[in-house]
Structure 1
Amino acid sequence: MAKYRAIPDGYMTVGEAAKKMGITVRTLQYYDKEGLLSPSAESAGGRRLYTDKDLITLHQIASLKSLGFSLNDIKQRLISLETPADVADALAKQADNIRRKIEQLTASLTAVERLKAEVLQMQTVNFKKYADIIVNLQMNNDSYYLIKRFDDDTLDHIRKRFDKESGLNFMDRFHCLSDEIVQLQKEHVPPESEKCQQVVKEYWNLIMEFTNGDRNMLPKLMEIGNIDTAANAWEERQKTVNDYLEPALQIYFSKLGADPFEEVE
């Protein structure tokens, strides 16, 4: 780096450069420390000197920051922005990043609005339930409506029984099986048919998996799952499942020779 006894024409001190660009001296010093923008020269007295070309680079940094680039990204991209194609490529990549952020923020906004609606409907302050609703919203679990209908004992059971991964796996299987049941209902497949009974068996196995074999939970599940009037698309779908399954389950239990719901009454 060249040294000068006085500040020559075309050079400016860090204070002058900062004032021209409307930033602080500390910011310029930080950019120098991070290797983003080093001064072009140094005076004999050790003063760091900048040029108009440095100001152009500083303007690039400010522009990229306003587009959402991190300082680390800018440090890498400033080297390669030599042609219009380089600039266009950098902007295209940043546009993709912005779209992802928009999607994430949109999902977060939806979750907040849904949680607000659920809080107002619950009419009670229950942070455990709020947390469960948030987790299920993040999992895109559209049956999160059920959470407000669960009592604390059932929610504690779910928290101990499932983590996020196993919970997602269970809900995926539950939804797939529910879709299959809805299709059987649409096709008017009789409840006593072998096809229907096989699905009923799988459904019952899922219930036993959910309860971990604790049949004392069955009355609560019956109460929770009882939907007289559907308030949303999920409840409408579940009501269809329940209406179709009720006679099919009676046939299934009859073949087993025992009704587990009667055993716990």
Structure 2
Amino acid sequence: MIHIKELAEQTNITVRTLRYYEQIELLISSSKTVGGHRLYTEEDLQKLQEIQFYKSLGYSLSDIKMMLTDSEWNWTAGLVKQLTYITNERSRLKEMEQLLRTAISGLALEKGNQEQVIQNLIKLTMQDKRNYERFKEQTFNEAELHLWGKLPKMNADNPESMEWIGLIGMITKYHRTQVSPSSDSVQNVIRRMLEKQKDEYQGEDAFLDKLWEMRKSPTESEQLGLYPIDVEVLEYMEQAYNISMKSQQSSIDTGGDA
């Protein structure tokens, strides 16, 4: 016979859990010591291992009890039902993961303004994602849709997207602290953005210009499912960009380095 403490150690289950299993008549000990401690047989151990296995598949304790006691339990239907549940749950968890990644990126972009991030996420989650897809297909051609897939994503964890988010977050910070768009700090951020744009979207200026004009429109940004960015921040960014372009052109005209 196996003492309850020994069984708990063997199966990595707490004594409290074993007592609860007996309380709900899922696993009843075969006997007890004179002192009242529960004792289990090898068959009990095997049954407990089955319970652990079914739990690892996501079954509830009530379902497991039925599986172990109901001789007419339909195993095929039961397994198919559980597989469907797990598949749906996986999709739900994936959506939660993407939402959490977006929230983390939003905090970086909004420089810790969690209230704004939450409001933006609520706004995004209330929209029908099918509308986003329809609007994109109506707005962009096949080549542009391919480029769309390369854009940085708020819910991505790749270094490229994270750097873009960080750069926009710095622009947001400079705007809020009223740093001049012509300052070295802001221009350094714009310079890095232009470097990344050249590396990742060389020769795609027409698409980027089209996307930027849509980005500046709150309505079209929402229709595309883009994370909301304050219009004033976008205007500030555009102003800084124009200053950078004029500076480069002036350098070229005077024979200096671009």
Higher relative contact order (CA 8 A, sep 6+): 2
Of structures 1 and 2, the larger Rg is shown by: 1
TM-score (norm 1): 0.45
TM-score (norm 2): 0.46
